[in-house]
Chains A and B, each alone.
Chain A
Amino acid sequence: MDFKRVKDYFYWLYFQYLLITCSYVLEPWERSMFDTILVTVLAMVLYTAYVFIPIHVRLAFEFFSQMFGGQPESTI
């Protein structure tokens, strides 16, 4: 019973995605093409985030801590 409700909820979410991106009115081959392109772009975004965000966060943290931590040293 619960599984049916969960499945219905996910189907409703998929239906909202179809309506918002107007895939609801596209023909099946157009829909597959749009889905493929969207999934590819999202995968590339996620991969880039996974590879680069920790490095950037670490560098930013070092920059700011150097700026605030290094102030007493620079005035003396």
Chain B
Amino acid sequence: IHHIVQNGGLYKKPFNEAFEETPMLVAVLTYVGYGVLTLFGYLRDFLRQWKIEKCQNATEREEQKDFVPLYQDFENFYNRNLYMRIRDSWNRPICSVPGAKVDVMERVSHDYNWTFTYTGRVIKDVINMGSYNYLGFAQNSGTCQEAAAEVLSQYGAGVCSTRQEMGNLDKHEELEKLVARFLGVESAMTYGMGFATNSMNIPALVGKGCLILSDELNHASLVLGARLSGATIRIFKHNNMQSLEKLLKDAIVHGQPRTRRPWKKILILVEGIYSMEGSIVRLPEVIALKKKYKSYLYLDEAHSIGALGPSGRGVVEYFGLNPEDVDVMMGTFTKSFGAAGGYIGGKKELIDYLRTHSHSAVYATSMSPPVVQQIITSMKCLMGEDGSTLGKVCVQQLAENTRYFRRRLKEMGFIIYGNEDSPVVPLMLYMPAKIGAFGREMLKRNIGVVVVGFPATPIIESRARFCLSAAHTKEILDTALKEISEVGDLLQLKYSRHRLVPLLDRPFDETTYEETED
């Protein structure tokens, strides 16, 4: 069942997003499982406190036992009693380039995951469904690698200074012009770390007396940047435009809390693709709202740049909109370009302001030259300027892989969240024992997946997250799908009853979302 949104012609093609509801029996059994684990957690904590069992986790020293306790909150309880038991599915060391296949170092634990020892063997050619390698640029051979090696021999690896002092290389200037041309904006600025791009630049843009409207499921870097800035933060429900419009109306009508003065700036923080849900932001509606209520938009395209759109230019191109409508376009080079770092693009006055006022430009070391060259080569390849059609082929291959993989998983009967076109595919597991079991069974069958549990997701909605890549061929995907189906039958993961929650799509007037009740 596809829900086609026809909001006064804002969307040029169908927007198919679905979040199937948790089956009631599965939810009850998940709570039962967590109840059993909590009881055993209390028992183990009791044994550790009365010294019947050796305590291997971090505790306070003897002299500090009478101080305010450090490790008694739920997060630490969860960490030592639940996370430790299934810890071998995370932090797996890999020892090759994270392409379509990767080598994983084998490790065993003799004391139930408190310590690990390496057996010395390496598990070769594990199918990599966890790396953010959307366009397949993570390679150790080819044009990108040769260009980066040449720059490494010319400039060395370290920059040894910040951007404002002596760390502004000509390579950085070249990269920024290229990024601005790629995005279709006036000017751009790049930073050495993607997380720091968000958390250090939002405080430079907004301050006290401003309002930040941030989506419920925004990434930690956006949340940290918003909190550091000192502005008032209000949260709207995930991808829900009625909630956002209500908040905007309240902000304009009532102003600041005590003084009732108008807000200095209203900034809307959204992401292109949300990595835990696989959902795509409703950008045409957000831009229509932004123009109507005269606020600013900060779009974080960490996962969507390179992965969406007919030529890989991100979520703005996917919806066919004008890049100049988005005031601050932010993105990272980690995911689709096989490098590290982030960028911010926008009008020239904005970027010139950020060059002097951003904390990251003043205090953080600038990007390393081989990494800059990797981005330049991969971006030129994506735009088609190096003379080959490799970029276009990669983008099309990724779109095909996405559609094929999602269709096959849905047909098998798994519950998959998110939009039909997003290359991030979350598969719901729900029960805590299945998180550990899924990770281990998949590794036994030579497929590496990322499973996600409590702090990153709500407690009963644990999931396995597949990240598709243009480097995956159809044979690799077929092998992976066969194994996933086998493990799904073994662990009873095929919960879907093909009953979708209907999206709140009602045909509205183009710019107004009048609601009689909340």
Give me the interface of A with B, judged by CB distance under 8 Å.
Answer: 12, 15-16, 18-27, 30, 34
Contact = CB atoms under 8 A, between A and B. Distances in A.
Contacts of A15: 490
A22 B433 CA distance: 5
B29 A20 contact: yes
B33 A20 contact: yes
A15 B82 CA distance: 19
A23 B491 CA distance: 14
Contacts of A25: 37, 82, 85-86, 432-433, 436
B52 interface: no
B513 interface: no
A41 to B, nearest CB: 13
Contacts, number: 44
Contacts of A21: 32-33, 36
Given A12-B490, A19-B431, A19-B491, A24 B36 contact: no
B112 interface: yes
Given A15-B490, A16-B492, 4 more contacts: A20-B32, A20-B431, A20-B433, A30-B40
Contacts of A20: 29, 32-33, 431, 433
Contacts of B437: 19, 24
Interface in B358-391: none
Nearest to B40: A30
Interface of B: 29, 32-34, 36-37, 40, 43, 82, 85-86, 112, 431-434, 436-437, 490-492
Nearest to A16: B492
Given A12-B490, A30-B40, A22 B432 contact: yes
A26 B40 contact: yes
A7 B32 CA distance: 27
A13 to B, nearest CB: 10
A7 to B, nearest CB: 16
Nearest to B84: A25
Nearest to A27: B112
Contacts of A16: 492
- 6 shortest A-B CB distances, which residue pairs? A22-B33, A24-B433, A25-B85, A22-B433, A19-B433, A22-B36
Given A12-B490, A25-B85, A19 B434 contact: yes
B198 to A, nearest CB: 35
A16 B33 CA distance: 12
A34 B43 CA distance: 12
Contacts of B33: 20-22
Nearest to B39: A34
Contacts of B431: 19-20, 22
Nearest to B38: A22
5 contacts: A19-B437, A19-B492, A22-B33, A26-B40, A26-B85
B153 to A, nearest CB: 50
Contacts of B436: 24-25
Nearest to B432: A22
Most buried by B among A16, A18, A19, A23: A19
A28 to B, nearest CB: 10
Contacts of A18: 433
A24 B40 CA distance: 13
A64 to B, nearest CB: 33
A23 B82 CA distance: 12
A19 B36 CA distance: 12
A26 to B, nearest CB: 6
Which of B32, B33, B43, B490 neighbours the largest number of chain A CB atoms within 10 Å of its CB? B33
A21 B152 CA distance: 54
A5 B121 CA distance: 35
A19 B434 CA distance: 6
Given A19-B433, A19-B437, A25-B436, A34 B491 contact: no
